[in-house]
Amino acid sequence: MRFEYSPAPESRAIVTLRDSYGLFIGGAFVPGSSVFKTISPASEEVLAEVTHAGPEDVDRAVAAARQAYERTWSAMPGRERGKYLFRIARLIQERSRELAVLETMDNGKPIRESRDVDVPLAAAHFFYHAGWADKLGYAGFGPSPRPLGVVGQVIPWNFPLLMLAWKVAPALACGNTVVLKPAETTPLTALLFAEICQQADLPPGVVNIVTGDGATGQALVAHPGIDKVAFTGSTEVGKEIARACAVSGKRLTLELGGKAANVVFDDAPVDQAVEGIVNGIFFNQGHVCCAGSRLLVQESVYDEVLAALRRRMGTLRLGDPLDKNTDVGAINSRAQLDKISELVSSGEAEGASRWSAPCPLPDRGFWFAPTVFTEVSQAHRIAREEIFGPVLSVLTFRTPAEAVEKANNTPYGLSAGVWTEKGSLILWMASRLRAGVVWANTFNRFDPSSPFGGYKESGFGREGGRHGLEAYLDVTGNADV
């Protein structure tokens, strides 16, 4: 049965967009060298003009961060730093609706996801790390771990505010100051976060935000005044950054791409597994580094699982991201839509069989219907390359050993999922899957206390949990490390 829903749009009235945004340097919004426009991917409407930071602007931001590091932040007792982080966390909660609506407008993701996932998790990251700020000496890195200095952080467009929180909260809790570059297509929630820093009375220069494109990111990671680089984005750019940092003495963490296997055994409850498969690949339009983009189904239940999956995909509602009933929003940019379309065409050309959910696509904006490929071989590009869109590739297996072999047959290693009612099989699989996170009978679950990160070409370093703190601390000279 298909239910028809009346439109239930969230109001945009809560968001006050400025015509133009400056760079956030030294606690104030300042002009930069040039400007660019940020648009809504759902309507292609221009939302605002944003400043493009050139090398001299990056230089100013790094100088402001250095001054704040030396004069205030690194010398401030942890319990005082913690108060600022708690304050920021509470302000994110207070302004949650505004942040959620703005995120959805700029990114294209459904309001249900920005409201129920992105913004609450961003607040949770600040709450969690606020609690660590005065307890770093008890985190297992020796009695007096020290901050690293000025951190340069570059983030992608798929979870703009949440990736900012993953980066800024631990850096600040550990006593570092920050220069952050959001993605070119999604700068607006980072700029609203800058306002939150002002509202929280955060000392000027502790957080600096430089908007711009890849060249701005390049200038930031190459800047000699940076002590540590934290990057989340594609493996291709991650490799470039690793090369740029190689002989600089800068500390580096990389959170890169993924091609996760979601493995369904024949004893799994099919309806629950199908919900997990749908959540694994269609959540956030599949713009998720840890998306379950390769479904491995045990042969004996293949027909049953695929029939249930197609039925469920047929009920997904695609459209206005601000509508509270929308399941699948807009693709973030034309460039990403082109990339998805090119990889999908390659899947068809290489002989895989395509099925897309029968949903009408809006005339304006960037859209792609939820799609599943069957008859996929491991050699196909759609089985090997990260599509970063709502496209699932299905493969089959007979034995657990074959499932492990196929799941690990990827240059990536960020996440994996296992669906079975046998606890022993879950543990057997988890100990063999080469992935930073393995979910059992669920998918895409996040918590600030749980470390997240990759193996192989998915990068190195962990974010979240006690492990994530280490990336922002100098632990040398501590005897018990």
Q: Mind telling me the catalytic residues?
A: 255, 289
Single out the residue of 218, 262, 293, 326 in contact with ligand TAP (rule: CB under 6 A).
218
Nearer CB in complex with ligand TAP: 200/230: 230
Q: How far is Cα 432 from Cα 430, in angstroms, rounded to an integer?
A: 5
Upper half-sphere CA count for residue 131 (Cβ side, 13 Å): 11
* Residue nearer to ligand TAP on the CB measure, 319 or 329: 329
Is residue 256 involved in binding ligand TAP (CB under 6 A)? Answer: yes
CB 172, CB 207: distance < 8 Å: yes
Binding to ligand TAP (CB under 6 A): which residues in 412-441?
A: 414
Tell me: does residue 333 bind ligand TAP (CB under 6 A): no
Does position 226 interact with ligand TAP (CB under 6 A)? The reply is no
- Closest approach, Cβ 433 to ligand TAP, in A, equals 16
CB nearer to ligand TAP: give 155 or 305.
155
Within 10 angstroms of residue 402's Cβ, the number of other Cβ atoms is 15
Based on the shown chain and the rule CB under 6 A, indicate whether residue 233 belongs to the binding site for ligand TAP. Answer: yes
Q: Is the dihedral of CA 201, 206, 207, 210 positive or negative?
A: positive
DSSP-assigned letters across all residues of 122-159: HHHHHHHHHHHTT-GGGSSS-S--EE-SEEEEE--SSS
What residues form DSSP beta bridges with 460?
Answer: 254
Question: Closest separation between CB of residue 313 and ligand TAP, Å?
Answer: 22
Neighbours of 448 (CB within 10 A): 25
What is the DSSP secondary-structure string of 183-246? -TT--HHHHHHHHHHHHTTPPTTSEEE----HHHHHHHHH-TT-SEEEEES-HHHHHHHHHHHT
Tracing tokens 């952050």 back to the chain, one arrives at 180
Q: How far is the CB of 305 from ligand TAP (least distance, A)?
A: 26
Give the interface segment with ligand TAP, choosing from 117-125, 237-245, 304-312, 313-321 (CB under 6 A): 237-245
For residue 129, the minimal CB distance to ligand TAP (Å) is: 17
DSSP assignments along 2-36, one per residue: -------BPPSTT----SEE-EEETTEEE--SEEE
Q: Give the shortest CB-294-to-ligand TAP separation in angstroms.
A: 14
The least distance separating ligand TAP from the CB of residue 231, rounded to whole angstroms, comes to 7
Nearer to ligand TAP, 234 or 248 (CB): 234
Least separation in angstroms between residue 30's CB and ligand TAP is 20
Token reading at 47: 């939302």
Segment contacting ligand TAP by CB under 6 A, of 36-44, 253-261, 262-270, 306-314: 253-261
Point out which span in 49-57, 249-257, 363-371, 374-382 binds ligand TAP (CB under 6 A): 249-257
Count of residues near ligand TAP by CB under 6 A? 29
* Interface of this chain with ligand TAP, residues 181 to 200, rule: CB under 6 A: 181, 183-184
Q: Which is nearer to ligand TAP, 156 or 468 (CB)?
A: 156
Within 10 angstroms of residue 322's Cβ, the number of other Cβ atoms is: 22
By CB atoms closer than 10 A (0-12, 13-18, 19+), residue 236 is: exposed
DSSP letter for 168, please.
Answer: H
195 vs 237: CA distance, rounded Å = 29
The residue from 110, 204, 257, 329 that contacts ligand TAP (CB under 6 A) is 257
**394: CB partners within 8 A, 6+ apart:** 295, 297, 306, 372, 373, 374, 376
Exactly one of 122, 230, 289, 429 binds ligand TAP (CB under 6 A); which one? 289
Examine residue 113 and tell whether it contacts ligand TAP (CB under 6 A): no
Backbone angles phi, psi at 253, to 5 degrees: -130, 140
Q: Which residues ranging from 384 to 403 are in contact with ligand TAP (CB under 6 A)? A: 386, 388
Binding residue for ligand TAP, selected from 38, 40, 107, 158, defined by CB under 6 A: 158
Contact positions with ligand TAP (CB under 6 A) in 128-157: 154-157
Q: State the residues that interact with ligand TAP by CB under 6 A.
A: 154-158, 181, 183-184, 213-214, 217-218, 221, 232-234, 237, 240-241, 255-258, 289, 386, 388, 414, 454, 459
